[in-house]
Structure 1
Amino acid sequence: MFDFLPRLAVQRPVLTTMMVVMALVLGLFGFPRLQTDLYPEVEFPVITISTVYPGAGPEEIETQVTDRVEEAVATLANIDGLRSFSQENISIVIVQFDLGVDPDQAAVDVRDRVEAVRGQMPVDAEASIVQKFDIGALPIMEMALFGPQGVDPLYELADEDLRERFSRVGGVAAVDIVGGRDREVEVLVSPERLQAYGVTLPEVVSMIQAENVSVPSGRIIEPAAAVPVRVVGEYRSVQEIEELRLFLQGGEVLRLGDIATVREGYQDVSQIARFNGEPAVSISIQRRSDANPVSTAEGVRAEIQRINAELPPGAQVAIVRDQSKFIQNSINDVLFNLLIGILLTTVVLFLFLHSWRGTIIAAAAMPVTIISTFLLMGLAGFTLNTMTLMALSITVGILVTNTIVVLENIYRHLDLGEDPKSAAQKGTSEIAVAVTASTLTNLVVFTPIAFMEGIIGQFFYALGLTVVFATLFSIFISFTLAPLLAARLLRSNETDAEEREGRLAPVWKKWDEGYRSLEHSYRGSLGWALARPRNGWIIIAAIFDLSVVSVLVTGRFVGGEFIPQGEVTAMRVELELPSGTPIERTSEIAARAEQHIAAIPDVEAVLTTIAGGGGGFISLGGGGNSAVILATLAGGARPAEEVLRDLRPMLPDLPDVAVSAVVDRSRRDRRRRPGTDPAADLRAGLRVAARAGGPRHGRSGGGTAAQRREQHAGRAPHRGDLPPQPRRAG
């Protein structure tokens, strides 16, 4: 059985070549189709229920919406945690299920329970939105549209034109726009005239609504076709509204323009965006969960170039944060390290083999195996991410080891004087069982890793199977490509010939002398260790002590985390004022914070959104008392953590504001609260939840906890979850 592939490689070179080329070509075609992402696709069994109740305060939201939703879903099976947030205009309930629960089925079950209590909700409450957590649903790019035209015209341009253009880019799922006002028609009714004519305001409202209709009115059937008919009565101008007729008692007819002023205008300010201190429109791009974030961002950047060439004079779309660059840089770093590993392995092989022919054989096996692995990665639905690339980096040593063992035995037969074909077939067949058995140990180790449970298992699923795929291909390449090339490139007694006649013969002579000296020293040390049992126990004790010391040193000076932080090039400052604060007051406080941030030399751009939606998994907009400031750092700037340490002392002078300043990890939703983003919570070192009898006690207890925490040295930056407004944590 183990003689089949080596014999086939030597005696049927064309067939073997076609097999290797087929795997290579399929891998090359599969590589461009692999999506690029930072981490493997991970599903969190977390469901959120968002319910908007316009005009309601936190207390009404809690008692009339949040409590009823909680009671409806609390009896579902396999619930690990239930949290809720009640604030002005909106209720957020987060249901976290046990790991292993199907998120799709959990979303269906939660939706059914919420629909069952829909009739118990306030009449003005909007239908609840049930969503499952999806990392891919977070924005991949945030932009700012600014110019001298003013924010309202720019918002209209973004809403009517740019939204559609960005939506047409491949991979874009949604476009979120914040920072302007929608147009509206204002009807300013005069109370004195209403009283003079004996008309009530509801009568005016009913008249306006009744005249603005577009309804189906049947169809006209002809021999050749059936034509649908609609009665279209929608308003087309302000003048039409002014000419509306109101019939009074006694047959008198009254124009709407006689009792009211009708004009075009804008809605009241409900959201604000600023870019570098100037009014702007914030645009965020959300990709589809199955789309490649890098290619999607490339398409968006290309569209931005075309848009900037067509915008009115002075207007411009600027990219504030591009997550795809962070992803691409991370992937490029791993790819570069992988290539460096292959190159260094090739150099070491050349030093020990003393033969460029043997080095070519071993070096060719590594890229061929890695490229072929892309075929199975694509079939398995994996993406090109840090985990799969790390798996390929791990397997570089495994790949070359199999080929080296095969080549070493082939060289042994060549040194005995056998011809290359016979040496290639015999040398490979003799050690086939040993190579296969040693390689299969990797499968035994990494296959269980791929099928671990929980969140860890989802991260390591792709890593474990990628190692398995690469290992299987390495066995195939070692038993086919290695003997195939050896039979045609190597020569009998090649090692002796290279050491005697080769151009590098003096170098090999010096190298072998040094190696033999090292070997002699090792033999002496090994002989001393085996001479007496006492010597052996001394070596064992020394190794054990060194291992213990290494573990202690590692635990003391080397930290640990679930997900590497990577290079961070942005900071995020969240401001929250008391409930009911006017948006103008929030904008004033945010402007002061912007000045502090912009004064730091490392900051390149500052984007502020106030009461914006925030696209992504959870949107907590709706009140004018919250602001989010995103600050990106210039190239070559200090690490974000250092910049943040300089910024934090500047923020406490903001009056009556709950401030949170954190580094932006490029995967966070811009309007997230602690506990509402499972991916961010995994990165958090510690999250503390405090229970209290009421909001006042909760804020007092939270302040006490924060003060005690300040007494500890070496603390990490923290974020509070107790802003100065009533809130309930379920």
Structure 2
Amino acid sequence: MNLSGPFIRRPVATMLLSLAIVLLGGVSFGLLPVSPLPQMDFPVIVVQASLPGASPEVMASTVATPLERSFGVIPGVNTMSSRSSQGSTRVILQFDLDRDINGAAREVQAAINASRNLLPSGMRSMPTYKKVNPSQAPVMVLSLTSDVLQKGQLYDLASTILSQSLSQVPGVGEVQIGGSSLPAVRIELEPQALNQYGVALDDVRTTIANANVRRPKGSLEDDQRNWQIQANDQLEKAKDYEPLIIHYQNGAALRLGDVAKISDGVEDRYNSGFFNNDSAVLLVINRQAGANIIETVNEIKAQLPALQAVLPSSVKLNLAMDRSPVIKATLHEAEMTLLIAVALVVLVVYLFLGNFRASLIPTLAVPVSLIGTFSIMYLYGFSLNNLSLMALILATGLVVDDAIVVLENISRHIDEGIAPMKAAYLGAKEVGFTLLSMNVSLVAVFLSILFMGGIIESLFREFSITLAASIIVSLVVSLTLTPMLCARWLKPHAKGVQTRLQRWSERVNERMVSVYADSLDWVLRHRRLTLLSLLITIGVNIALYVVVPKTFMPQQDTGQLIGFVRGDDGLSFGVMQPKMDIFRKAVLADPAVQSVAGFIGGNNGTNNAVMLVRLKPIKERNISAQKVIERMRDEMPKVPGARLMLMADQDLQFGGGREQTTSQYSYILQSDDLAALREWYPKIVAAFKALPELTAIDAREGRGAQQTTLVVDRDTAKRLGVDMSMVTAVLNNAYSQRQISTIYDSLNQYEVVMEVNPKYAQSPETLNQVNVIGSNGQRIPLSAIAHYENSLQDDQVNHEGQFASQSLSFDMAPGVTVEQGTAAIERAVAKVGLPESVIAKMAGTSDAFAATQKSQPFMILGALVAVYLVLGILYESYIHPLTILSTLPSAGVGALLSIYLLGGEFSLISLLGLFLLIGVVKKNAILMIDLALQLERHSGLEPLASIREACLLRLRPILMTTLAAILGALPLLLSTAEGAEMRQPLGLTIIGGLIFSQVLTLYTTPVVYLYLDRLRHRFNAWRGVRTDGALETPL
């Protein structure tokens, strides 16, 4: 059956079919979103709960533990971790990748509701949750600065105006605000004045709450009119609270202003942000899932002038971080690489054929196949990203293969004197099955990735389907457009009428065939030696895979760094700020840095800060992000009590089921025995610090934060009419920044915060100045019923899977791979000898690396099995697929040897290159084996003669397709601009594997074919099957 026949006879229909493919692809291209990497949806839900004033230990035991017990029974929870700090608990749940996030969210809400009765009664609100995708980095960060307005006012503008407007921009998801908090009326009480007038803290709280209310008041109505009733029941500013009467002393009114300092401040004074050298409020903007990053950023930028216009003139809206320039540059570089690859492939075809008209035919096949792929990408909801564009770049060298095979076979018949139309029918029919075998088996290789599951399937799904789609479109084009154009564009063979290039091309081809024929004859006479070389190649593969350095993913240069400033346990907010300023100024002074933004305090704790560092474009700094980090580490000033950890921001983030760490690599210890955990954690930290393979180790090394424990004499307290609820209530009123009332505004709601004057909250001794009112109304100093004891406690309590945990983060030292670092860690931990009660495990990127390392051999084996099954079905043979698969070890040696010799690392991108090699290298074997089988069946040649003839006839298309694939990958290898770190490993793997395999398989394939053919005859004779040429039929 000749699949190409109808298309050769109907040129108009064929051209219109190709035009339809191009039009659909062109329209789809404009609809594809743009992103740095494929959309990876890690189903993560974050639950946040607060109880102002509660210690980390109290938050862990009374809030985190009840929630974790409820969440633990939800099906599909992969990891669960929590962090409890002063007044705050955060629980992070990561579900299985195939778990529906909306269904999981409903179950989380149900679990929160079920925990209601187990949570402390003093919580102002129930815990809340939100769905997050940790693999998505913010697309933009804006900063608000002003020389006039206070930080709380800036935060209010960001919350009421900017956040609302930005959320309406197409493509914008969540807008987070940091660097301060909403304005609030702060009431700072004077304990001595309260004691003097005999006023209890709770009396003040009740008075304020009763004086500031906002409730319905109804209306009045007569026969004609209606009156709405209003009252001055709300106090809006600090000055409105000063005249409040809280007590009468001997008939004289005691007003709030007599016993307290009242000011307009912020809800949380332990929260501050900055942009470069200015105090700032930051707006962190995330995109919606699947949104086009570049279009979203452009839409935001278009709105900025209008937003600036509605802000007060003293407020400046600055662009602190923008992801789009790096993404634009990366995609532009990828597109240029694609164009260069197309040009190189066309050049190869032209040089080999020496005929401009003939070279146009496969040249047309390339754009039609690539553009047609966009429509399939759109149907699958894919985006234009680094991996999908790499797939298209590599497809350039693959899609031209089919056209080359068809064109070369038709040209060979024309050179033999056959008319172009007849040659097109005959040539297309001869290679139709060959093309089907080549492409179906190649598609099987990439589609096998979709069955791997986990991170690999999620990450490489778009790459695999995009490449498979381009191959399928290429097959259609090669069976339709290519033979039709050959029938009408190629001229009949005219002897002696050749261009200089054609004559040169023909001489080179004849010379290559002659040299190859002589060397092939020698190889066929020394088959055992050739077979031995193949066996050695298999052994070398294994040895190289063991010794080649391995890593998870290439380190990206996204033009951004993330800095984490960690202060010693117990450092106050006031002490931490100047330390942060030292680091900020040092980072900003680096010549590669464009801007710095960040914030200190908030949910991160008063002794922690986060820094977002925006680097200059790579062409301006001429140094990689990792080199910038190394330079900063060397030049960073030493700050007592604090340290700065820097890491290059990555598009691909792992460890989303846990708190953000200060590096990509982390290690976790967990135990149900807290004492054992505290005993062994320092030993692990010491072991890590002794490893030269690791650097920038971030661990909790302090003895803990200072804690004051009030020890109440319950008997004395009972005698004086005081119970524990009274004691905890007075402490809560005095030291918890307690929100006691709410001010309702037309745009927002603001809190009234009560506490003692901060100067009375600087040491445990100030507790003696706080009085509690007994049941008989008597004023009793706390010192009369209790004493305090100072101790050291963790300022943060972490849980991992409901057990207490401690973690440490680290980076690999320069030149050390993830594999080497992981091996060193395993040796060090084994030497420490942890007890069974303490469990240790890798987390984050190192955990993902370990998981993929275990699955890589099975992935490669799965691809080989898929190819064998497909080829076995197509050839109706158990033996011939083995001949084709015998070409693969040489490709592995070439790829691994190239990585090893050039000092590279074997990563998931390199693994992707190996999958591609499996498909490309076996195509060459199919070209030889398929023709040899045809010669055996239809020409009656013996196996030796048929395989020799097939090798010589297929030499030119094999060299053309291989060289096209090499040149298609060459721009990847030589890339130096943005995104090069992702493209270079793929180019190196493919080029190294193709060059080595090309040299070897031209000789090993015919030898293996002959050995397996002999085996086939013996096997058929044993099972009673007659062997008729290349066919097997039952007797």
> Where does the alignment leave 5 or more consecutive residues of structure 2 unmatched?
705-793, 804-1035
- Name the CA shift for 1:336/1:700 in 2 (closer, same or farther; >3 Å): farther
SS of 2:376 mapped into structure 1: helix
User: What one-letter code is carried by the residue in structure 2 that aligns with 1:536?
Assistant: R
After superposition, the C-alpha distances for 1:158-205 in whole angstroms (9 at most, x for unaligned) are 344333343332211232222345433456889999999999876775
SS of 2:139 mapped into structure 1: strand
After superposition, the C-alpha distances for 1:193-229 in whole angstroms (9 at most, x for unaligned) are 9999999876775565456555456799999xx9996
| Counterpart position of 2:327 | 327
- Name the CA shift for 1:47/1:195 in 2 (closer, same or farther; >3 Å): closer
1:728 and 2:798 matched: yes
Distance 1:714 1:482 in 2: 56
Q: How far does residue 89 in structure 1 lie from its aligned partner after superposition?
A: 1.9
| Counterpart position of 1:92 | 90
Q: How far does residue 334 in structure 1 lie from its aligned partner after superposition?
A: 3.1
Alpha-carbon contact 1:66-1:84 (below 8 Å) kept: yes
1:500 and 2:490 matched: no
Number of residue pairs matched by the alignment: 702
Q: 2:588 aligns with which of 593, 598, 613?
A: 598
After superposition, the C-alpha distances for 1:556-595 in whole angstroms (9 at most, x for unaligned) are 354331x332214333332233555332111122112223
- Name the CA shift for 1:100/1:178 in 2 (closer, same or farther; >3 Å): closer
| Counterpart position of 1:437 | 437
1:710 and 2:689 matched: yes
After superposition, the C-alpha distances for 1:122-178 in whole angstroms (9 at most, x for unaligned) are 123332233444146542222333343355354444344333343332211232222
Distance 1:339 1:245 in 2: 76
| Counterpart position of 2:109 | 111
Distance 1:191 1:715 in 2: 52
Distance 1:26 1:298 in 2: 26
User: What one-letter code is carried by the residue in structure 2 that aligns with 1:661?
Assistant: L
Matches within 5 A, 1:205-224: 209-210=209-210, 212-216=212-216
| Counterpart position of 2:298 | 298
> Where does the alignment leave 5 or more consecutive residues of structure 1 unmatched?
613-619
Distance 2:685 2:263 in 1: 51
Distance 2:243 2:658 in 1: 53
- Name the CA shift for 1:427/1:217 in 2 (closer, same or farther; >3 Å): farther
| Counterpart position of 2:25 | 27
| Counterpart position of 1:536 | 527
SS of 1:690 mapped into structure 2: strand
| Counterpart position of 2:8 | 10
Distance 1:189 1:711 in 2: 51
Alpha-carbon contact 1:185-1:262 (below 8 Å) kept: no
After superposition, the C-alpha distances for 1:106-126 in whole angstroms (9 at most, x for unaligned) are 333333223201221112333
- Name the CA shift for 1:123/1:654 in 2 (closer, same or farther; >3 Å): farther
- Name the CA shift for 1:511/1:315 in 2 (closer, same or farther; >3 Å): farther
1:66 and 2:60 matched: no
Alpha-carbon contact 2:42-2:656 (below 8 Å) kept: no
- Name the CA shift for 1:698/1:570 in 2 (closer, same or farther; >3 Å): farther
Distance 2:529 2:108 in 1: 64
Matches within 5 A, 1:358-377: 358-377=358-377
Distance 1:652 1:459 in 2: 39
| Counterpart position of 1:142 | 141
SS of 2:163 mapped into structure 1: helix
Distance 2:65 2:345 in 1: 63
| Counterpart position of 1:615 | none
Alpha-carbon contact 2:586-2:637 (below 8 Å) kept: no
705-714 or 286-295, which deviates more: 705-714
User: What one-letter code is carried by the residue in structure 2 that aligns with 1:676?
Assistant: E
Greater C-alpha radius of gyration: 2
| Counterpart position of 2:42 | 44
- Name the CA shift for 1:522/1:508 in 2 (closer, same or farther; >3 Å): same
1:478 and 2:478 matched: yes
| Counterpart position of 1:124 | 122
SS of 1:149 mapped into structure 2: coil
Q: How far does residue 294 in structure 1 lie from its aligned partner after superposition?
A: 2.2
After superposition, the C-alpha distances for 1:698-721 in whole angstroms (9 at most, x for unaligned) are 566444323323333343544436
Q: How far does residue 247 in structure 1 lie from its aligned partner after superposition?
A: 11
After superposition, the C-alpha distances for 1:317-351 in whole angstroms (9 at most, x for unaligned) are 44333233343333333333322222111100011
SS of 1:124 mapped into structure 2: coil
Distance 1:245 1:387 in 2: 66
1:583 and 2:653 matched: no
Distance 2:88 2:197 in 1: 41
Q: How far does residue 69 in structure 1 lie from its aligned partner after superposition?
A: 1.5
Distance 2:544 2:190 in 1: 81
Distance 1:257 1:728 in 2: 41
Q: 1:556 aligns with which of 547, 555, 570?
A: 547
Alpha-carbon contact 1:576-1:723 (below 8 Å) kept: no
Q: TM-score, normalised by structure 1?
A: 0.83
SS of 1:529 mapped into structure 2: helix
SS of 2:668 mapped into structure 1: coil
Q: How far does residue 261 in structure 1 lie from its aligned partner after superposition?
A: 8.8
Alpha-carbon contact 2:241-2:262 (below 8 Å) kept: no
| Counterpart position of 1:509 | 503
| Counterpart position of 1:645 | 630
After superposition, the C-alpha distances for 1:368-405 in whole angstroms (9 at most, x for unaligned) are 11111111211111222233223323333331111122
| Counterpart position of 1:617 | none
SS of 2:32 mapped into structure 1: coil
Matches within 5 A, 1:651-670: 653-657=638-642, 659-666=644-651
1:633 and 2:633 matched: no
Q: 1:566 aligns with which of 556, 578, 590?
A: 556
Alpha-carbon contact 2:355-2:502 (below 8 Å) kept: no
SS of 1:31 mapped into structure 2: helix
After superposition, the C-alpha distances for 1:676-709 in whole angstroms (9 at most, x for unaligned) are 36xx89x94x532224687786566444323323
10-19 or 59-68, which deviates more: 10-19
After superposition, the C-alpha distances for 1:216-273 in whole angstroms (9 at most, x for unaligned) are 56799999xx999685756486599479887999xx9979799789976222623111
SS of 1:145 mapped into structure 2: strand
SS of 1:687 mapped into structure 2: strand
Alpha-carbon contact 1:83-1:95 (below 8 Å) kept: yes
- Name the CA shift for 1:667/1:147 in 2 (closer, same or farther; >3 Å): farther
Distance 1:325 1:700 in 2: 48
| Counterpart position of 1:616 | none
- Name the CA shift for 1:40/1:295 in 2 (closer, same or farther; >3 Å): same
Distance 1:239 1:154 in 2: 18
Q: 1:687 aligns with which of 666, 684, 688?
A: 666
SS of 1:32 mapped into structure 2: helix
Q: How far does residue 482 in structure 1 lie from its aligned partner after superposition?
A: 1.5
Give the % identical residues.
25
Distance 2:644 2:656 in 1: 12
- Name the CA shift for 1:227/1:27 in 2 (closer, same or farther; >3 Å): farther
Matches within 5 A, 1:199-348: 209-210=209-210, 212-216=212-216, 231=230, 235=234, 238=237, 241=240, 265-267=264-266, 269-304=269-304, 316-348=316-348
Alpha-carbon contact 2:689-2:697 (below 8 Å) kept: no
Alpha-carbon contact 1:662-1:717 (below 8 Å) kept: no
After superposition, the C-alpha distances for 1:592-617 in whole angstroms (9 at most, x for unaligned) are 222333343333322231024xxxxx
| Counterpart position of 2:900 | none
Q: How far does residue 314 in structure 1 lie from its aligned partner after superposition?
A: 7.6
Distance 2:193 2:688 in 1: 65
User: What one-letter code is carried by the residue in structure 2 that aligns with 1:628?
Assistant: V
Q: TM-score, normalised by structure 2?
A: 0.61
User: What one-letter code is carried by the residue in structure 1 that aligns with 2:14?
Assistant: T
Alpha-carbon contact 1:216-1:229 (below 8 Å) kept: no
User: What one-letter code is carried by the residue in structure 2 that aligns with 1:631?
Assistant: V
Matches within 5 A, 1:371-410: 371-410=371-410
514-523 or 314-323, which deviates more: 314-323
- Name the CA shift for 1:120/1:375 in 2 (closer, same or farther; >3 Å): same
- Name the CA shift for 1:560/1:673 in 2 (closer, same or farther; >3 Å): closer
Alpha-carbon contact 1:180-1:271 (below 8 Å) kept: yes
SS of 1:177 mapped into structure 2: strand
Distance 2:226 2:39 in 1: 50
